[in-house]
Amino acid sequence: MTEQTEEQAKGYRPVAVLTQIEKTYHLDSVSVPVIRGVDIFVRQACFTVLLGPSGSGKTTLLNMIGCIDKPDKGEVIVSNCKVGELTDDALSDFRAKNIGFIFQNFNLLPVLSAYENIEYPLLLAGISAKKRGERVPKLLEAVGLSDRAKNLPGQLSGGQRQRVAIARALARKPKLVIADEPTANLDSQTGAAILTLMRRMVDRYQISFIFSSHDPEVIKAADDTIFLHDGAIRGVRRKGVGEAA
Ligand SMILES: Nc1ncnc2c1ncn2[C@@H]1O[C@H](COP(=O)(O)OP(=O)(O)OP(=O)(O)O)[C@@H](O)[C@H]1O
Ligand SMILES: [Mg+2]
């Protein structure tokens, strides 16, 4: 039985399934295998942590789950779509509709206000001014920043910037949000608040979050933890939904 059929037999529904993923980087004449036969089943509406030391392949894997990068071997299915079969144009369309991204360095546009940063993906998607005007204030409210709408990123704290990035990632109501070490540049208290916020977003909007970290503390907030070491899965721990501390 593959991991996919095993997990589905338990009644779990997937938002992403990776099967026998392999990835090798080639630098000059040296080949470095970075992901070595990885199977991952990401449950819908759960908070999944991808935990592993620096260099274990977390970013490489997240880039493949997020359809930013392709594996050398293996299959990636996101939201029931075999993404390897899509053309480049169809893939970027699929990504914009289905996947939100949050980065370690926030990646906000410095010349746009908090409001405008959140509005930006909606503008790109051709959403009407009326709908944008309804949605952005709700997102600002959801991340506790209604009173900072006009601030530029440079006028926000690190934690506030990451809240804007979370709201922006949620703007198009994605199925899956990918967060690559989103608390790495924050002090531990602010990082903990961001974790709590993400946990709340999973529960409130039934979104699936996958979050990479090398901090074992984050396990407490997770439904599922996938342990990665040296490009291979070392184990998976799943809590019952809603059991997270
Ligand atoms: N573009 C690249 N070209 C060559 N090697 C790469 C490339 N990107 C990553 N690697 C190598 O792949 C391995 C995994 O890198 P990756 O960035 O996925 O690890 P990580 O778990 O995200 O680490 P960190 O916690 O430090 O962010 C590392 O050994 C890295 O040196
Ligand atoms: Mg990384």
Ligand found nearest the CA of 36? 1
Q: Does the beta carbon of 34 sit less than 6 angstroms from any atom of ligand 1?
A: yes
Question: Confidence class of residue 218 from pLDDT cuts 50, 70 and 90?
Answer: confident
Q: Can you give the pLDDT at residue 199? A: 92
Closest ligand to the CA of 232: 1
Tell me, what amino acid is at 178? Answer: I
At 19 the three-state DSSP class reads strand
CATH number for the region 3-238 comes to 3.40.50.300
Cα–Cα distance, 110 to 104 (Å, whole number):
16
Pocket perturbation via mutation, ligand 1, pick of 22, 29, 34 by most ligand atoms within 8 A of CB: 34
Q: For 111-136, what is the mean pLDDT?
A: 97
Q: What is the pTM of this model?
A: 0.91
Burial of 8 (0-12, 13-18, 19+ CB in 10 A): middle
List, in order, residues 6 or more apart from 3 with CB less than 8 Å away.
Answer: 19, 39, 40, 41
Q: Which residue has the tokens 């405008």?
A: 116
List pLDDT tens digits, range 2-29.
666 677 767 889 999 999 999 999 988 9
Per residue in 42-96, pLDDT (tens digit) is: 999 999 999 999 999 999 999 999 999 999 999 999 999 999 999 999 999 999 9
Q: Give the residue extent of every domain in the chain.
A: 3-238
Across the range 106-113, mean pLDDT stands at: 96
Q: What per-residue confidence (pLDDT) applies to 245?
A: 45
Q: Is 59 near ligand 1, meaning CB less than 6 Å away?
A: yes
Question: Would the pLDDT of 237 be above 70?
Answer: yes
Tokens at 134, concatenated: 């309804």
Q: Report pLDDT for 244.
A: 46
Cα atoms in the Cβ-side hemisphere of radius 13 Å centred on 143: 27
Report residue 70: phi and psi, to 5°: -115, 145
Q: What are phi and psi of 199, to 5 degrees?
A: -55, -45
Contact criterion met (CB below 8 Å) for 183 and 191 = yes
Choice between 6 and 100, residue whose per-residue pLDDT is larger: 100
* Backbone dihedral region for residue 69 (phi beyond 0: left; psi -120 to 50: alpha; all else: beta): beta
